[in-house]
Amino acid sequence: MQAAHQRDSRVNLFNNGHTTTRVLVLCLLLVAVCYANSITNAFILDDILIVGANERIRHIEPVQFLFQSYWGDLNHAGIYRPLTIFSFSLEYPIWGVWAPGFRITNLLLHAVNGWLVFLLARGLLGSPAAALASAAVYLIHPVQTEAVVSIVGRSELLAAGLFFSAWLAFRKRRTWLAAVAYFLAALAKESAITLPAIVILELALSQAGSEVSMGGNVSRWQLAIRNIVESWRRLAVLAITGVAYLGLRFYVLGGLGIPASGQYLHGTLTLFQRWMTSGRVFLEYCKLLLAPVEIASDYDFNSIPVAGLADWDAWLGLALVAATVILAVRVAKLRPTVSFGVLFFFIALLPVSNWIMPIALMMAERFLYIPMFGFALLAGALWAGIQDRGPRHLIAGGFVIIAALLCIGHNYIWQDTLTFHRNAVRVVPNNARARLGYGFALLRVDKVPEAKEQFEAGLRILPNSAPLLAGLASATMRIDGNCERVRPLVAQALTNDTRQWHSLWVLGDCFMMEGKIEQAEKSYRLAIQNTDFPDAQLLFSWARILEARGNTPTALATYERAALIDPTDEGIKMKIRQLTR
């Protein structure tokens, strides 16, 4: 597989012994050009919950993180990423809740990952020029925006970097180092579990075409099996490492998969429906890979409608998957690099494909972060295969310019919660969660009628959604100035989900409006107890009641907790100053 391309001495970058250092610098420059304008973006979406409002990262406790779920104790949702949470705790003493600091770290990790892609691609393609092209595609492809710019995309970045490092170590026969990196990659994000399959794939394809040199006495598949068997001890070390990770995950979460409550549509889809819908998802992924002009970054219900037997587009997507995989297998002898790139993509995508095990989403742009290596490898090989230097330079320059402009534009989508959800509603108007997020974002800027319209639109997509009902209740209360029309909405929301914390918050506001202080305090307290990530304003409302009732120590502690979550709120700061005089 290494002989796919010859070393290109015409590229000056590779004419001396400092190739890897120069490539690392180039990776840093590419990332700076494409993503520098994202650094000042605010915390948004899960950034707020996992970093801004997450009290667990205020202390550096690596052992404790190993025994905690990603989302906290109330609702683990089947997510276990202790290394990601630990990385935030290491940074918190430096940055506090300054979002740009965490994002700078993301950009540096992404640049290093591009460098690791170069090192791997150079070994697979046998051409530094082709490897550099692969690294460039990996770094600045616009579909990578979510994983890089979103601070919680840290899980993708860490998992990929450790995945690539483990792979490189295994290729250099440093098996135990590979096992350690593999274990850490899985602790960053569970999708890294596929590394042993990737290693076996490379071992198998590295013998493609070898039967020619042996006079055809041994088939390539026999050689592939022999190659794998000869490496069984090293593979066993990786396998044991993977089993150890799964055992730890099972111990902490009580299961290997995502519970029905955390699955897409609460686990109501059948295996057939998941497979059919994955056909539509694959078509969307193709569009994102080939023409990433429009991104949504949120594909919750009903962005990709659930597909059935009669949906031709779902069948088309599945047929394309099957045809691509079959073609990759058939060309393994003549084009092992092409075969490897295609098969890498699908193997790396398996954990998030819903083909084997249902997960929380049918698709996400961040799911492509590790699989993108396969696509980048193909792109680098195809580009290096162009013999004429003129077209090669034109294609390279054109790609860099277009991709950089798209990345820069996409970064503005992630500027804050309002810009993000406004774009999501525009791109996927049938997305119920996008309507919910846009509604709350509009409420924060006092565009209450527009917010009410978004909640109502969301309820037309997903009727009886407790969060959407709570949002509509909040907007209605601010429009009416009373709770006459609010109480039925809150009651319906709490009937659907008795622990829905935002509904309890709205109910507390109603009690406050009516002067029922004791009931308001109870509602606020229950709302806070039912979420691992309370809103700063919810804490502020509860603290005011505690202060008014003379419970000053608890009130002060609650104000300070709110200040950790939102350090820019002047009202919270003033209350803390008053109580600490």
Specify whether 247 is located in the same domain as 382.
Answer: yes
pLDDT tens column, 528-578: 998 878 888 999 999 999 999 889 999 999 998 888 777 778 999 999 999
Q: Is residue 492 part of a domain?
A: no
Q: What angle separates helix 99-125 from helix 82-95, to the nearest 10 degrees?
A: 130
The mean pLDDT value for 368-394 works out to 94
d(CA 520, CA 542): 8
Residue 214 has pLDDT above 60, yes or no: no
- The first and second tokens of residue 68, run together, are 């905690």
The mean pLDDT value for 307-326 works out to 96
Concatenated DSSP letters for 311-322? -HHHHHHHHHHH
Report whether 139 contacts 23 (CB < 8 A).
no
Could you tell me which of 204, 198, 205 has the C-alpha nearest to residue 228? 204
Specify whether 163 is located in the same domain as 22.
Answer: yes
Q: Domain limits at 362?
A: 2-413
Report whether 273 contacts 308 (CB < 8 A).
yes
Structural domain ending residue among the three candidates 380, 413, 446: 413
Q: Is residue 223 part of a domain?
A: yes
Could you tell me which of 158, 183, 156, 155 has the C-alpha nearest to residue 169? 183
Specify whether 36 is located in the same domain as 171.
Answer: yes
d(CA 145, CA 138): 11
b/e map of 402-438 (b: 16 or more CB within 10 Å)?
A: ebbebbbebbebbbbbbbbbbbbbebbebbbbbbbbb
Specify whether 543 is located in the same domain as 408.
Answer: no
Residue 426 has pLDDT above 90, yes or no: yes
Q: What angle separates helix 154-171 from helix 175-188, to the nearest 10 degrees?
A: 170
pLDDT tens column, 126-144: 999 999 999 999 999 999 9
Specify whether 104 is located in the same domain as 246.
Answer: yes
- Region of 529 (left: φ > 0; alpha: ψ -120 to 50; beta: rest) is alpha
Domain count, the chain: 2
Concatenated DSSP letters for 93-108? HHHTT-HHHHHHHHHH
b/e map of 167-178 (b: 16 or more CB within 10 Å)?
A: bbbbeeeebeeb
Residue 11 has pLDDT above 70, yes or no: no
Distance of CA 334 to the CA centre of its chain: 35
d(CA 101, CA 204): 43
Could you tell me which of 314, 375, 356, 387 has the C-alpha nearest to residue 129? 387
Q: Is residue 490 part of a domain?
A: no
Confidence band, pLDDT 50/70/90 cuts, at residue 207: low
Q: Is residue 97 part of a domain?
A: yes
Confidence band, pLDDT 50/70/90 cuts, at residue 206: confident
User: Phi and psi of 277, rounded to 5°?
Assistant: -65, -30
pLDDT tens column, 282-295: 999 999 999 999 99
Structural domain ending residue among the three candidates 397, 413, 429: 413
Q: Is residue 435 part of a domain?
A: no
pLDDT tens column, 65-115: 898 888 876 566 789 999 999 999 999 999 988 999 999 999 999 999 999
Q: Side-chain half-sphere of 524: how many Cα atoms within 13 Å?
A: 25
Could you tell me which of 136, 133, 141, 138 has the C-alpha nearest to residue 164? 138
Q: Is residue 429 part of a domain?
A: no
- Residue 222 pLDDT: 75
pLDDT tens column, 239-261: 999 999 999 999 999 999 999 98
Residue 145 has pLDDT above 80, yes or no: yes
Q: Is residue 244 part of a domain?
A: yes
Distance of CA 185 to the CA centre of its chain: 14
- Name every residue whose Cβ is closer than 8 Å to that of residue 210 and which is 6 or more positions away in sequence: 218, 220, 223
d(CA 448, CA 505): 18
d(CA 179, CA 304): 37
Query: Would the pTM of this model clear 0.85, i.e. be above it?
Result: yes
- Cis amide prior to 302 (ω within 30 degrees): yes
Q: Is residue 249 part of a domain?
A: yes
Mean pLDDT of the chain: 91
Structural domain ending residue among the three candidates 413, 445, 471: 413
pLDDT tens column, 264-282: 998 999 999 999 999 999 9
d(CA 195, CA 170): 10
